[in-house]
Amino acid sequence: MKITLVLVICFPFSLFSQSSSFWISFTDKNNSPYFVNQPSQFLSQKSIERRTNAGISILPNDLPVNETYIDSILVSGDFKLLQASKWLNAIAITTDDTTSLNTILNYSFVANVAQVKSLKQNKIIDKFEDIAIAKNEINLLSIPHYPYGYSYNQLALHSADKLQDLGFSGQGMHIAIIDAGFFRANELNALEDVFNEGRILSTRDFVNGGESVYEDHQHGTMVLSVIAGSIDGEFKGTAPLASFHLLRSEDVGSETLLEEYNWIAAAEYADSVGVDIINTSLGYTTFDDTLQNHTYADLDGNTTVIAQAADIAASKGILLCISAGNSGASAWQYISTPADADSVLAVAAVDSNGTYAFFSSVGPAADNDIKPNVASVGWNTYLISPFTGEVMRGNGTSFSAPMITGMAACLWQSLPNKTNMEIMRLVEESSSQFSSPDSLLGYGLPNMFDAYSKETGVLYSPPKEDLIEDVFPIPVTDLVNIIFVSKVSQGIVIRIYSEKGDLIVSVSETVLQGKNQLVLSQLNALPSGSYIIEIESAEGDRATTTIVVI
C-alpha cells in the first residue's frame, strides 16, 4: 500500500535541529527471507489462528521489513533505529548526522523520508492533566450489587453485569493496552490476581526500549484497572479475568508524530503475539511542532498514519476500542486520530446515567462516518488509584474506552465464533440510538446482554428465591460478611440467635434485587461459640446460616 507521509522532505536536512527523529519508508520487500506461506516465522500461533478462524489471509504487509534495507541505512551514518513497521514498510531513526541523512535519499529502495520529531520542544506537559480524580466516600459496611460494589452502575448501564453473572468475565481473551505507562500496576492489591495468575503476558516499552513499564506514567494503570481491577465487594472491572499485554508508546513529556509511529510498532507487536483486542486511550491532533499538526480534514479515517495502521490491525482480525478524545468543550471540539479510523470503535463518554459528558469529543469524521461509534461511562468512572490502591473516580474518554474494551471482550468470549467486525457490529446494533445516531454518542449506549441474547436466545432470569449464598470469614473474630441474594428489592430483618435459640440481636435493613453484601460488625463482644443468623424477607421467607465466633 502506498503511504502518503505527513511531511515530505524537499529541502536540506541541515535545516533541522540536531538529534531529530525521521521516518524512512521503503519501496518494497524484495528478497525477503520470509514467506507468506510460512507465517510461523514471524507470527505467533495464536495470531495465525485468529486469522484462520476469521478467514483472513497472510499478506505481504505481514512480512517483516527487509533487514538488508535496515542494515544499509544504519551503516550509512550515525543512525539509531527506533522502530520498524512491517505494515507501512518503514523505519524510524534518530540522528544528528544530517550529511549522511541526505545521502540515503539517493538509495533506490528508499521511497521517502519525513521528520517526525525535532530536538526542540515548545512545551513539556502532562497531556493527561485534564483527568480529574476524586476520592470515593461511599460507606463500605453495607454494599448492594455484590460483587460489583461501586462499579455496578457503570456496568449495569450496559447490562454487562448480567453477562458476568453468566460466567463471562473475559477468560481466555487477550487484550493489548497501548498507553503511556503502567506505574505501580504490579504493586496494587486490586490487580494482584492478574499478576499472580500469570495473565500479564508481556510488557514492552516502545518509547525507551526494553520491557519495563511499571516506573512510567500512571495513566495506563488506571486504564488497566477499569478492565482488570478487582476488590471483593467493592469493585469489579469490565473483564477481570482477561489476559493482557501492557505496551508503552506514549511519551507524556512531548507531543510529536513519532508517538504515532511508536503506537504503530506497538500495534504490530500486539498483532504478532495474537491479541484479540487493542485498547487505546490515546489520540492525536496537534503537536509541539505546529507544522506537524493534523487538520480536521485529515481525520477522514485514511490520511493519518496511525489511522491507516489501526485499520490494518482491524483487517488482521483485531477489535480496536479507541477513546474519542476530551476536546468537546474546546475550540477543536472534534475526535482525535486514530478514533477516525473506519474499522475501530471510537468511544465517547457519558456519566452512569447515560448523560453526555461535556468534554467528550464530537464527530462526525471528516469523511462523514459516524463518529464516535458508541459511548460508555467516562464521567466519574470508578477505577483504582495507582497511588493508594483505593477505589477512585476519574473523568475522560480514557476510561470510557476500556469500559467498552472489557465488555466487548466478555461478549466475544460468549460468542467465540464471531469475527472482530461481527462483534463490532453487534455492539453497535445493540446500542440505544442505533436507528438515529448523532455526533455526540454515535449509536449510543451498547446493551451487551441484549447483543448476547439476540445471538443465543438466552434471556435474563432474575433470582427465583431469597437465599444466603456465602458467609465469610469463618471463623469470625469481629465482623462477618453475608452475601444475600434477594429476588426483589425489599426490607429484611437480620437476627442472631445463640446456639440455644435465644435472640441476641435483631437488625432491619433494605436490600436490592440480586446479591447484597451485608456486614455485621463488633461481633467480638459476643462470647465464643456458635450462633445462628436468620434473614427474614418481606414475604416471611427465612434463610439461615451458622457462624462460629472465636
Q: What pLDDT, in 10s, does the model give residues 173-207?
A: 999 999 999 999 999 999 999 999 999 999 999 99
278's enclosing H/E stretch is strand 277-280
CA 246 to CA 175: how far, in whole Å?
A: 9
- The helix (run of H) or strand (run of E) holding residue 514 is strand 514-520
Are the beta carbons of 318 and 270 closer than 8 angstroms? yes
Query: What pLDDT is attached to residue 9?
Result: 29
Q: Residue 441: name the closest of 341, 394, 379, 371 by CA.
A: 371
pLDDT of residue 303: 96
Residues of the chain with CATH 3.40.50.200: 133-456
> How crowded is the C-beta side of 415, counted as CA atoms within 13 Å?
26
Q: Is the pLDDT of residue 122 over 80?
A: no
> Cα(333)–Cα(355) distance, rounded to whole angstroms?
18
Which range scores top for mean pLDDT: 30-44, 310-324, 458-472? Answer: 310-324
Grid coordinates 535496515 are at which residue?
70
Using 50, 70 and 90 to split pLDDT, how confident is the model at 143?
low
| 266: helix, strand or coil | helix
Determine the average pLDDT of the residues in 294-298.
Answer: 96
pLDDT of residue 499: 85
pLDDT in tens, 360-397: 999 999 999 999 999 999 999 999 999 999 999 999 99
Instruction: Give the strand order in the sheet containing 20-26.
Output: 80-85, 90-95, 20-26, 110-117
Between 287 and 129, name the one with better pLDDT: 287
pLDDT at 520: 87
With cut-offs at 50, 70 and 90, classify the pLDDT of residue 47. very high
Report the pLDDT averaged over residues 391-410: 97
The pLDDT of residue 118 = 74
Given this model, what pLDDT does residue 366 score?
A: 96
The residue among 364 and 103 whose pLDDT is bigger is: 364
CA–CA dist 108, 48 (Å, integer): 33
Q: Which pLDDT value is given to residue 60? A: 95
Lowest model confidence (mean pLDDT) among 96-105, 120-129, 247-256, 369-378: 120-129
Using the CB atoms, write b or e for 306-328: b if 16+ within 10 Å.
Answer: bbbbbbbbbbbbbbbbbbbbbbb
Q: Whole-angstrom Cα distance, residue 195 to residue 199?
A: 6
Mean pLDDT score, 99-115: 88
Q: Among the listed ranges 93-107, 138-152, 234-248, 379-393, which one has the minimum average pLDDT value?
A: 138-152
Comparing 16-20, 77-81, 417-421, the range with the smallest average pLDDT is 16-20
Report whether pLDDT(136) > 50. no
How far is it, in rounded angstroms, from Cα 211 to Cα 273? 15
What is residue 302's predicted lDDT score, i.e. its pLDDT?
Answer: 95
DSSP state of 145: S
Q: What is the pLDDT of residue 101?
A: 83
Angle at CA of residue 520, ends 519 and 522, nearest 5°: 130
Q: Tell me the per-residue pLDDT of 419-436, one tens digit each, with 9 for 90 and over.
A: 999 999 999 999 999 999
Query: What is the chain's alpha carbon radius of gyration, rounded to the nearest angstrom?
Result: 26
Which CATH architecture does the domain made up of 467-549 adopt? Sandwich (2.60)
CA distance to 208, 221, 231, per residue, from 186 (Å)? 19, 9, 15
Q: What is the pLDDT of residue 121?
A: 55
What separation in angstroms does the CA of 207 have from each of 121, 175, 210, 258?
Answer: 16, 20, 9, 9
Over pLDDT 90: what percentage of the chain? Answer: 75
Q: What is the pLDDT of residues 240-265, one digit of tens each?
A: 999 999 999 999 988 999 999 999 99
Beta strands in 412-466 (DSSP E): none
- Determine the average pLDDT of the residues in 312-340: 97
Where along the chain do the CATH 2.60.40.1930 domains lie? Answer: 467-549
**For the ranges 6-20, 25-39, 522-536, the one whose mean pLDDT is highest:** 25-39
497-525 residue pLDDT tens: 988 888 988 888 899 999 999 988 888 87
- Mean pLDDT, to the nearest integer, of 18-36? 89
pLDDT band at 126 (very low <50, low <70, confident <90, very high): low
Whether 348 shows a pLDDT value over 70: the answer reads yes
Q: What mean pLDDT is predicted for residues 32-55?
A: 94
Q: Residue 11: its pLDDT value, please? A: 32
The mean pLDDT value for 90-95 works out to 93
- Per DSSP (E only), the strands in 68-215 are 80-85, 90-95, 110-117, 133-135, 142-144, 174-179, 200-205
Q: How far is CA 78 from CA 65, 100, 262, in A?
A: 20, 8, 21
* Mean pLDDT of the residues in the chain: 90
Helix, strand, coil % (nearest 5) of the chain?
25, 25, 50
Q: For domain 133-456, is the CATH number 3.40.50.200?
A: yes
For the entire predicted model, the pTM comes to 0.89
Q: Residue 325 pLDDT > 50, yes or no?
A: yes
- Spatial CB neighbours of 60, under 8 Å, sequence gap ≥ 6: 29, 36
- Whether 128 has a pLDDT exceeding 70, the answer reads no
pLDDT for res 117: 82
Q: Is residue 144 pLDDT above 90, yes or no?
A: no
Residue 154 has pLDDT above 90, yes or no: yes
Q: Any bridge partners for residue 494, and if so which?
A: 507, 535
pLDDT at position 17 is 41
- What pLDDT is stored for residue 89 in this prediction? 96
pLDDT at residue 505, as a whole number: 85
Name which of 471, 518, 513 is nearest 494 in CA terms. Answer: 518
Backbone angles phi, psi at 488, to 5 degrees: -145, 165
Candidate from 12-26, 147-161, 246-260, 314-328 with smallest mean pLDDT: 12-26
